Structure 1
């Protein structure tokens, strides 16, 4: 049977490919250090586990409203008010089966065939694929390394055509960890307003910031930008709840209503138990979140220090998330490899260190390393990478 064209157009995930190979080597008894993880290595906090257990014992295991339970929507609304001074009513919030599902559903309800979405590179691997699945066209704007992996207003303006429907802003970013400042967001926002573009603001890493800068949501900068923006977020990264699959979108009531209707025909509703767990996450203080953040901060400082000492590796120091995105083009060329992808494959085979090639993120000269693992493992990984570079 011939598969649908939309599926045949998908690009295989480089993240999954390297992870599969690393797992195969581990299964054969090799000491593999995996730096490809896109999730915190901490368990979900105990108070959230307790809330899930309590919900189950109370029989809260049935269908819920498609857009999420009212109490969780209220908690999300209060979180927006406290953190970004944003005010969203229940009708402006939809709870989804993870932030990825929020993005997928959003593109399904706003894009028509041929509509263009501007995707800054480097990008999270699912952005262009989700746009394509909605029969849209991803248009890439290169966020240059020398500009801290951020697109400029001129680049955004140059990428806009009569078919442009939306632009994605991911700050803090996966894979680079970069952040846009309030002033930079304001400039980009003015261009979006000028051309009537929907702003898709992915803020899933907002709680994991290690500089003195504060997270700014572009929706908070003006009434017009508030109306023009759909904010995507969730508890996966902030509360180490990746497997619970709770995300959400907030924005224009008409878009949120359409997303809720579509969810009712796809997932019915987010898992009831996970929603009550997320409710506990948002109605308890952030002590555990801050402890996790401090551990990530220490790891970032150490791993960055170790990496930049390796010949041929250059790295823009990130401000958020839990990734480093070093440029290893010089190292790979000096080591005699035809591409960074080949260098990454050899690193795994010879030194048993799994990193993700930047080609999967639209940046073939870079690699992504996650520091969501112990300091001991990170130090050993850095030693192995250095040995690999020097041996070649």
Structure 2
């Protein structure tokens, strides 16, 4: 068998192998050098902010009344709806008034008798005074009649008091709401016997006021000392003599929707918790907040100051440090340790670690690597904010300094 045909095919196979090898080399080179990943950067926003201290508080009613029976007797009727809003003077219960009305009649009769006796004693004294001038009666008789008139007048006064007490008992059979607020359920149903104040008054229901409403919270000792120092330096008004503003966030709310003012600070710290009991007063026009609810209380913790702010999503955690990624002029990424402050209108205050002209990565953190190059793009600035540095804000589609379009 001749080998000439096979020798003729050898160069063709070699050329094909070399061509395939060249394609693989080009593919490997293209995979080894990908373009810098795109990221979105923004300059810190500079604006005037105020620090707020946050505490957990509980709402309590400004006025709370336990409605009790002031006279004993059988309950005739309940005149309110459980859980309704009642106003001061509204009728709540009716206790059988007939026994007390009978006592009023007796007291009226006793008063009439005392007044009649007093009138008779007065006339006897007048006659005695006329007769003593002619020596028809002695001075002793006149003194006796004068004493009888005084006793009659005392009996009349006593009878008047008895009548007023009896009339009050009749009035107390109609139990009225002492304050305006939301009433609880009725604890006594018609037909039951209740005790008055003489024998341990029966609890009938309770009422709590709702508008405005108190919220109590405890301030820790460190915060109290810091605020006291700011007050001595004239950088923060004291809540003892100034109604400092307060913001409250209820459970389920994402931002403070209730505003009020400071109303009270206690005169000592609790020895067991080292906290100072504080109180704010909050308007509650829609009556949506009830006593016993919890809320997050924010109270001013500083005077207004200029600060740099960045989106909270731009902050990363490196063990115990908070860091942000900054794009330098050569488009390489640098990690900066920062000291953070509170959130202000959705942005995080940066106390230390950033400059006004820095470009912070706000989107694409997962694609950034320290020391590696990136392709930065300036983020669109919010309508109500301005960059911290520069005469003009950067355009939304313009690359950061040093970036290639």
Q: Which category describes the TM-score, using the shorter chain as reference length? A: under 0.3
Structure of higher CA gyration radius = 2
TM-score, normalised to structure 1's length? 0.18
TM-score, normalised to structure 2's length? 0.18
Structure with greater proportional helix content: 1
Structure with greater proportional strand content: 2
